[in-house]
Amino acid sequence: MSGNVAAESSFERDLETHLTALMEGRLEALREQFRAESWVLLGRLLPATWEQRAREEAWGVLERRGVRRDLTVPETGDSPRRMRNVRQSEIAAEANVLPSLYYADATRLLVSAVAECRVTLCPFVPERFVLAAMSRAGDTHGWHWDDYAYSLVYLIDAPPLDAGAAVEYLPGVPWEKRRPRVDEHVAAGRLRSRRVESGEAYLLKGDSTLHRVAPLERDAMRVVYAMAYAHPDDLTRPITHETTEALYR
Ligand SMILES: [Fe+2]
């Protein structure tokens, strides 16, 4: 067994133990909140012994492969994206723990258990997992929806409390790509704003929840690893990928 394979199987074992404990006694509460809000804070996603390794991988790939983006997306009401990000293929080629986390059975079991749906890997490979870093005042991941049903977002580095960049969302809003009406939805809805700490992850029903990361109010680091899983219906309905095509070209 090569060192890498051994490390991966020990990662998967540790992850399974950790995620089983994470759900123990809390699963019904997590389900209830997710049902009601389309958003739920899961807690610390990785076993403590693997957190630093995942963080080092993320920072390494960001440093080598990160691309600065500053654009707006017409399908999401011309909302801005100002950040540095890394494509799925580069993370897959250059990291170990991060892709293993995405593909682990234990991760899919966690998402399936909380979402009460047997989720699958995202069929569109470039959207399976990505890294995004905000660092400068004004950086933001503007209002948008996700193409696939479930987004599991792992906060590698949360910014300090006073730096802004909260997760904001509005559940139960359908995405009409030709007429997104983002400003109308935001003006009419009751926005939720959440703070997520470093090491924590949340699950979001991203295809029917309008959401954003509010702008950084000053220079500070915010690094996330975002993973996408599909609902069985996603495998048969036609899905286009304008946002990913614009953001990772
Ligand atoms: Fe999203």
Domain parsing of the chain, residue ranges: 3-247
7 has a pLDDT exceeding 80: no
56 Cα to the center of ligand 1, angstroms: 23
CA distance 23 to 30: 8
Tell me how far the alpha carbon of residue 73 lies from the centroid of ligand 1, in angstroms.
Answer: 13
Cα-to-centroid distance, 178 and ligand 1 (Å) = 18
Q: Is there a contact between 58 and 224 (Cβ–Cβ < 8 Å)? A: no
How many other CB atoms are found less than 10 A from the CB of residue 150? 27
pTM for the structure as a whole: 0.95
Give Dmax over CA atoms of the chain in angstroms: 57
Give the model confidence (pLDDT) of 129-185 as tens digits.
Answer: 999 999 999 999 999 999 999 999 999 999 999 999 999 999 999 898 889 999 999
Q: Provide the H-helix boundaries in the chain.
A: 3-23, 27-37, 48-65, 88-94, 97-103, 105-115, 182-188, 242-247
Residue 8 pLDDT more than 90?
no
Residue 212 CA, ligand 1 centroid: distance in Å: 7
| Residue 1: predicted pLDDT | 44
How far apart are the CA of 5 and the centre of ligand 1, in A?
Answer: 32
User: Which DSSP symbol is given to 215?
Assistant: P
Distance (Å) from CA 224 to ligand 1 centroid = 11
What superfamily does domain 3-247 belong to in CATH?
q2cbj1_9rhob like domain (2.60.120.620)
Query: 158: closest CA among 187, 128, 198?
Result: 198
Q: Computed from CA positions of residues 11, 128, 222, 113, in that sequence, does the dihedral angle turn out positive or negative?
A: negative
* 79 Cα to the center of ligand 1, angstroms: 12
